[in-house]
């Protein structure tokens, strides 16, 4: 079985796979210098582990029987039609993403972002800072998306006795189902957390009007996709003019964020640089999941986390 691997895997990860499946024929993209040879190897492979770029190279890989993406999101591949079965990491990143959002919120509420700067400046403000600190307890929260990330965030917020509502088109939880209902609820929300996938339906869903509807202490968070905002510049303006209380952004419209982007200079803003799903054993977990699915593939069992690229889910 020819397996082509295109991902952030180091030599120890490569050896881990080869030791686990010594009878299989692994080729890693990092072992091939020329792009044309990389493409040739991909086109000859039976199995792909990874997220090849540009996205259209996957469209050409008609020999593939199974693709295991190393991500949860797959918006760049939406609409692609290939005969291969495709699986993703589904809720693998949900817990770290949830912890990242909560850490960002707590950083703003408890002043940790400010204390970090004061430490670098060797400044002690002490008691004068206390009156500006806030509590997460009993906050009113709207979570955009009732998927695995949203549910993990909700579970953590329950410890703080937060009043949580979901925005979702189809879910059993108490929800806001339409953009009109969402807009109506925004003025009373203390925290709004975006954790939606990047689809045509979610692109620009959080409109300029919604940003303007947030109250002056409200925090906007996004750990989903950067295209959730209709106009990112409107968020920048709201932050710089103090019209909202802050932002926790794991994603942005353009990534990497250019050095001259105005978000860098926004007050009360945490930028976690699309690391929300990261953890110390992230890669090892991806490889272990691949091995579980590989054994199911070999034995003819249904694969875990099946998705349909052409349908976007």
* Structural contact between residues 57 and 42, judged by C-beta atoms closer than 8 angstroms: yes
3-class SS letters over 62-91: CCCCEEECCCCCCHHHCCCCCCCEEECCCC
pLDDT-derived band at 183 (thresholds 50, 70, 90) equals very high
Question: Whose structure tokens read 């692109």?
Answer: 203
Q: CA 266, 269, 270, 273: dihedral to nearest 10 degrees?
A: -40
Q: CA 87, 146, 152, 279: dihedral to nearest 10 degrees?
A: 40
pLDDT-derived band at 202 (thresholds 50, 70, 90) equals very high
State the pLDDT at residue 175: 87
pTM of the model: 0.93
* Structural contact between residues 50 and 7, judged by C-beta atoms closer than 8 angstroms: yes
pLDDT-derived band at 79 (thresholds 50, 70, 90) equals confident
Question: Whose structure tokens read 């691949």?
Answer: 290
Tokens of 120: 């670098």
State the pLDDT at residue 47: 98
Element (H, E) at 163: strand 163-167
Q: What is the mean pLDDT of residues 54-74?
A: 95
89-112, pLDDT tens digit by residue?
A: 999 999 999 999 999 999 999 999
- Assess whether pLDDT exceeds 70 at residue 173: no
pLDDT-derived band at 169 (thresholds 50, 70, 90) equals confident
The gap from C-alpha 25 to its chain's centroid, in whole angstroms, comes to 32
Question: 73: closest CA among 153, 149, 177?
Answer: 149
What structural domains does the chain harbor? Answer: 2-92+279-307 (3.40.50.720), 94-271 (3.40.50.720)
State the pLDDT at residue 170: 73
pLDDT-derived band at 199 (thresholds 50, 70, 90) equals confident
């Amino acid at each position: 079985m020819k397996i082509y691997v295109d991902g952030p895997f180091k030599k120890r990860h490569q050896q881990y796979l080869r030791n686990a499946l010594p009878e299989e024929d692994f080729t890693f993209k990092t072992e091939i210098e020329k792009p044309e040879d990389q493409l040739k190897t991909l086109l000859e492979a039976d199995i792909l582990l990874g997220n090849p770029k540009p996205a259209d190279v996957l469209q050409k890989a008609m020999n593939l029987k199974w693709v295991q993406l190393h991500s949860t999101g797959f918006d760049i591949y939406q609409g692609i039609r290939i005969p291969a079965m495709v699986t993703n990491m589904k809720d693998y990143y949900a817990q770290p993403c949830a912890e990242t959002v909560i850490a960002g919120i707590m950083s703003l509420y408890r002043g940790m972002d400010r204390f970090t700067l004061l430490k670098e400046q060797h400044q002690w403000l002490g008691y004068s800072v206390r009156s500006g600190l806030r509590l997460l307890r009993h906050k009113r929260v709207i979570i955009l998306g009732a998927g695995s990330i949203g549910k993990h965030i909700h579970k953590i917020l329950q410890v703080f006795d937060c009043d949580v509502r979901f925005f979702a088109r189809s879910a059993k939880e108490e929800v806001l189902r339409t953009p009109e209902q969402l807009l109506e609820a925004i003025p009373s929300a203390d925290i709004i957390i975006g954790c939606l996938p990047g689809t045509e339906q979610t692109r620009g869903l959080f409109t300029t009007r919604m940003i303007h509807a947030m109250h002056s202490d409200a925090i906007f968070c996004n750990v989903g996709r950067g295209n959730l905002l209709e106009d990112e510049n409107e968020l920048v303006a709201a932050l710089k003019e103090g019209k909202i209380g802050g932002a926790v952004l794991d994603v942005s419209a353009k990534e990497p964020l250019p050095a001259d982007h105005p978000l860098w200079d926004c007050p009360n803003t945490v930028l976690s640089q699309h690391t929300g799903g990261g953890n110390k054993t992230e890669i090892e977990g991806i490889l272990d999941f691949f091995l579980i699915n590989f054994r199911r593939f070999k034995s003819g069992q249904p694969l875990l986390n099946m998705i349909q690229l052409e349908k976007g889910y």
